[in-house]
Amino acid sequence: MGVAVEYSGPIIAVAAVTVAVTAAMIDIRQRRIPNRLTYPMMVFGLGAQSMLYGWKGLLSAGLGGLVFGGVFFVFYLVRAMGAGDVKLAAALGCIVGLVPSLQVMFATAMAGGVLAIVHVIFSGRLLATLRNTFTVVVFHARFGLRAHPVVNLDNPAAARMPYGLAFAVGTLYWAAPALLGR
């Protein structure tokens, strides 16, 4: 298809890291990622990729936003993730483009897994989390992509982790080679 545009080194890496770290700081403090950050960054990403690579950059940015945001939207549908996280994923996908967004998504997922394990251990909820994870897997295997009636973001007793932090760690990991000149 000819859309696999490489990111332009430190310029795009700095932009992605700045957005991800800003979102993490806000998410840690306010437990939300605001639209005033994500929507302008989607537009910025589309514009930056267009200026750097023309229509192929625009296409790569658009697909990056759709793929990265789309994968996280599935978690939003089952109330396992907030809408701000989905919009942040879309914004980062627009900024970095299609191929790099897959790398950032993978790094973010790995960071999210490690941070979740640390969070669960330090909160003393290891057994409850293992039990809930099994329950949720069985529920979704049986009922598909519906929100679990108890284990979801709408439950005020549910343990929550600001996932913006995972985006920041994953984006920093992805951007490190460009930022360090490697």
pLDDT tens, position by position, 48-103:
999 999 999 999 999 999 999 999 999 999 888 999 999 999 999 999 999 999 99
pLDDT at 152 over 80: no
C-beta separation of 72 from 89 below 8 A? yes
pTM for this entry: 0.87
> Residue holding tokens 């483009």?
97
C-beta separation of 94 from 64 below 8 A? yes
3-state secondary structure of 141: helix
pLDDT at 179 over 60: yes
